[in-house]
């Protein structure tokens, strides 16, 4: 559902309703894969990707991921460093386990949160001490 160019000055800044009617961000309208090769672009991609798997089938996968299981085991699609993991991530993050979003991934989230909090709070205490010392008048 593309929003094309508009005449008004607010040209596409504020959407009118209807571009994404579904509250869940489905991959229903994600891009189909194209297979026209471009050597220049391939070289660029290699910088970022581990490796490109060659095309075996020229068939584009279905746009609407009604059956995600069909895609997850499909190794014949033209891959840019891996398949689309969004559907499985959607399922993972939508588990109702009561865990807040910033800790939902478990251990790595917890470690990063604790590190950030420790550095920030510790730094604030150090800062207050440093400011207190700096505010003491220096004797000649």
Among residues 39, 54, 100, 106, the one that binds another protein under rule CB under 8 A: 100
Among residues 9, 11, 32, 138, the one that binds another protein under rule CB under 8 A: 32
**35 near 55, Cβ under 8 Å?**
yes
Among residues 8, 18, 50, 75, the one that binds another protein under rule CB under 8 A: 18
Among residues 9, 11, 14, 43, the one that binds another protein under rule CB under 8 A: 14
Q: Comparing C-alpha atoms, which of 137, 84, 120 is closest to residue 112?
A: 120
Residues sharing a CB contact under 8 Å with residue 32, sequence separation 6 or more, in sequence order:
60, 61, 63
Handedness of CA 27, 29, 35, 36 (dihedral sign): negative
Which runs of consecutive H residues, i.e. helices, occur in 23-106?
Answer: 39-48, 68-72, 86-93
Among residues 1, 11, 50, 66, the one that binds another protein under rule CB under 8 A: 1
Q: How many residues bind another protein (CB under 8 A)?
A: 62
The answer to whether residue 120 forms part of the interface with another protein (CB under 8 A) is yes
Q: Comparing C-alpha atoms, which of 4, 66, 69, 65 is closest to residue 32?
A: 65
The answer to whether residue 50 forms part of the interface with another protein (CB under 8 A) is no
Residues found near another protein in the complex (CB under 8 A): 1-4, 12-15, 17-34, 36, 38, 41, 44-45, 48, 63, 80-81, 84-86, 89-90, 92-94, 100-102, 104, 112-113, 115-117, 119-121, 123-124, 126-127, 130-131, 134
């Amino acid at each position: 559902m593309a929003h094309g160019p508009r005449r008004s000055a607010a040209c596409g800044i504020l959407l009118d309703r209807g571009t994404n009617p579904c509250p869940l961000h489905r991959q229903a309208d994600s891009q189909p894969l194209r297979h026209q090769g471009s050597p220049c672009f391939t070289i660029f991609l290699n910088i970022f990707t581990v490796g490109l798997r060659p095309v075996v089938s020229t068939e584009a996968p279905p746009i609407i991921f009604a059956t995600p299981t069909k895609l997850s085991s499909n190794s014949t699609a033209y891959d840019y460093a891996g398949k689309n993991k969004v559907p499985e991530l959607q399922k993972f993050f939508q588990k109702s386990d009561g865990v807040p979003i910033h800790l939902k991934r478990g251990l790595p989230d917890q470690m990063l949160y604790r590190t950030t909090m420790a550095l920030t709070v510790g730094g604030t205490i150090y800062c207050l001490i440093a400011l207190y010392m700096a505010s003491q008048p220096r004797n000649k």
